Amino acid sequence: MSGFAGYQNEIYMAGLGDVVPDLPTDLTRLEALAEERMPAPSFAYVAGAAGSESTARANRAAFEAWRLVPRMLRDVSSLDTSVTVLGTPMPAPVLLAPVGVLSIVHPDGESSVARAAASVGLPLVVSTAATTTLEDVARASGDGARWYQLYWPKDRELAISFLERAAAADYRALVVTLDTYTMGWRPRDLDGAFLPFLKGVGNQNYFADPVFQRVLGGEVDDESLGPAVLQWATTFGNPTLTWDDLAFLREHWHGPIALKGIQHADDARRAAEAGIDAVIVSNHGGRQVDGAIASLDALPAVVEAIGDRVEVLFDSGVRTGADIVKPLALGARAVLLGRPYVYGLGLGGEAGVRHVLRCVLAELELTMALTGVTRPNELGPELLVRP
């Protein structure tokens, strides 16, 4: 094998000189290692989920429930994992999911992630709740593909400003997160009384915004931090939004739009009827609603409802390269990877993120070949069973 799978040979060859990877290649081990090494509040914020965390467990149980059925005697000597999603060419059907407040994990936060993603060619979806401004993340990303994720604020002028800034910084697509107009009940954070935004961490895109500053009455400094945080809290979420508001996005964003947080087929149909370009089947990694449907279990109905009209992407519960094959086989066009790269960042900075991404891509390529397919579009439900 060559291509991404060459990382396997690279590791074995380094072993001839008694050099072994700094981080595990079984990416399911990263969480336990991160719990040992990361500050407890930071780890809890990343690893935690809503309520009893049953939705997060259901996400993983759904991956275990679907089993691959490899096919034999197929020519897999030439593999091509590349796809184009929402007009963005990418070397594999993988994007880095939007994750906020990354400086609580590593001082260089989003910039390290942007450089690592660009180095392997994967698109990064940059969160509104980043601890680095979207302009600075773009500079760190360089020529790397990047999408912008919007937490739609109450202030329409602020929303317009975010969109204009993202367009000016060459973000290629817009991802609108629908499920976080208020934060879910998250006991790990509540037990530690830890919400970084209240300390001015994760509000950087707001604090740097000219509309936000105009309302505040000036730039954010030590003296104005308290009022700035209060202003952020009053505008962050907008529970009044309805399907009719999607026209506002089309008026102010002229590229592709994806709606993230779709779990019901009827909502998927509404998105398609509204002219949205893509939906992302996601339950926010289990962080919003306890007892919700697993994202992977929600995927087939959404694909059946709109898969012939709208690109369907998948998020929530992905931990390994082998995991990625299953949502692709169920009809997803691409998959968003979240917590594993964040653990890589916390454990090894930029190099840790790059290791995680290279492991994911290598295992994806190998799993495709060993399942008997050479292109992502060859993956279909006939390769899966639920014993």
How far apart, in whole angstroms, are the C-alpha atoms of residue 254 and residue 243? 18
Among 252, 254, 284, 355, the one annotated catalytic: 284
Backbone angles phi, psi at 37, to 5 degrees: -105, -25
User: Residue 378 has what DSSP assignment?
Assistant: G
How far apart, in whole angstroms, are the C-alpha atoms of residue 139 and residue 385? 44
Helix H segments across 142-264?
156-168, 187-191, 204-207, 210-216, 225-235, 246-252
Burial class (CB in 10 A: 0-12, 13-18, 19+), 223: exposed
Task: Give the CA-trace dihedral at 293, 294, 295, 301, to 10 degrees.
Answer: -60
Per the annotation, the verdict on 284 as an active-site residue is yes
Q: Give the Cβ contact number of residue 354 at 10 Å.
A: 20
Provide the token pair at 30: 């990263």
Burial class (CB in 10 A: 0-12, 13-18, 19+), 367: buried
Backbone angles phi, psi at 285, to 5 degrees: 65, 25
Return left, alpha or beta for 24; rule: phi > 0 is left, psi -120 to 50 is alpha, else beta: beta
Instruction: Please report which helix (H) or strand (E) contains residue 278, including its range.
Output: strand 278-281
* Distances 326 to 8, 155, 371, 378 between C-alpha atoms, Å: 22, 39, 11, 12
Active site residues: 284
